[in-house]
Homo-oligomer: A and B are copies of this chain.
Amino acid sequence: MQIGLIGLGKMGYNLALNLRDHRHDVVAYDISETTMEAIAAEGVATAATIGELVQQLQGRKVVWVMVPAGAPTDAVLRQLAPYLSMGDIVIDGGNSNYKDSMARAVQLKQAGIHLLDCGTSGGLTGARHGACTMVGGDAEAFDFCEEVLRDVSVEKGYLYTGKSGSGHFVKMVHNGVEYGMMQAIAEGFEVLHKSDFDLNYKEVARVWNHGSVVRSWLMELVESAFSKDPELAALKGVMHSSGEGKWTVETALDMEVATPVIALALLMRYRSQENDTFSGKVVAALRNEFGGHKVESAE
């Protein structure tokens, strides 16, 4: 079917190719002309503005928005909405906070526009060759788009999760789980690394991926990473984060749910961003105060 696509970042670009491969009629727009030229060279139609993009769509319009969460998504929706009419559908495939999606759905609904909040997992290879999509919003709008959602996802890899917000909510929790799983795996390899055994981490990841209880796509990626750099010697262990782990913890706090593992996975990321901590200084100072224990000097 015909579909507009706004945003050709790492995820959006791969999605465009994915849609094209499934013979959907994509009209793409991105603020970067270079990117637009690149996707055009791949056989995807482009539009010079968001307005033109919508004009190229026929009948009941469907526009997939794939831009960073927060202000960028708001900006695109603000630009896009005036061109849409009653019954048209916007799919937000980005990592929006589910509460934002709920509010945006209410607002767009006032103009009769449907918002499907589509959590998208699977990383870049997923966007390119088959993602995992969790979709909230009006059931009728979902049904209208189901063909597209099915096609961009791996087999069995899409789900209608219910009312507005539920798609991004399920995706948010997915990311919280991901934080915990990644930290668990990482701690395990640190224990291996600190041991006196002389282990080949890539081989350990490989064997764990074949028949063990912890076999998983993340462990396959660990194997891949160690195959490129057997001790990860080129990397610094700074763990950045992009928001959804934090939202999961905040949501858990609001619900008064104990999520210690997800919370600690997040906090260890923050800790990794510091070379030294003020809390460490306070403890070191205290130990010196009461026990005369030596302190180390800051350089």
Binding site for B on A (CB under 8 A): 10, 121-126, 130-134, 136, 153-159, 161-163, 165-166, 169-170, 173-195, 197-199, 203-204, 206-219, 221-222, 224-225, 229, 232-240, 242, 246, 248-253, 255-293, 295-299
CB < 8 Å neighbour of A211 from B126, B184, B276, B281: B126
A222 CA to B260 CA, complexed, in Å: 20
For residue A171, which residue of chain B has the nearest CB? B212
Is the beta-carbon distance between A186 and B282 smaller than 8 angstroms? yes
Known: A215-B217, A216-B181, A218-B286. A280 touches B186 (CB 8 A): yes
**Shortest distance between the CB of A8 and any CB in chain B (Å):** 14
Is the beta-carbon distance between B213 and A298 smaller than 8 angstroms? no
**Shortest distance between the CB of A128 and any CB in chain B (Å):** 11
**Shortest distance between the CB of A153 and any CB in chain B (Å):** 6
Is the beta-carbon distance between B225 and A261 smaller than 8 angstroms? no
A10 CA to B290 CA, complexed, in Å: 11
The 3 closest A-B pairs by CB, nearest first: A237-B280, A180-B184, A216-B216
A219 CA to B219 CA, complexed, in Å: 14
Is the beta-carbon distance between A214 and B218 smaller than 8 angstroms? yes
Q: List 24 A-B contacts (CB under 8 A).
A: A122-B290, A123-B213, A126-B211, A153-B210, A154-B211, A156-B206, A161-B199, A162-B198, A170-B192, A175-B213, A176-B184, A183-B283, A184-B184, A184-B265, A185-B282, A187-B258, A187-B260, A221-B290, A236-B299, A238-B284, A239-B284, A250-B253, A256-B273, A261-B261
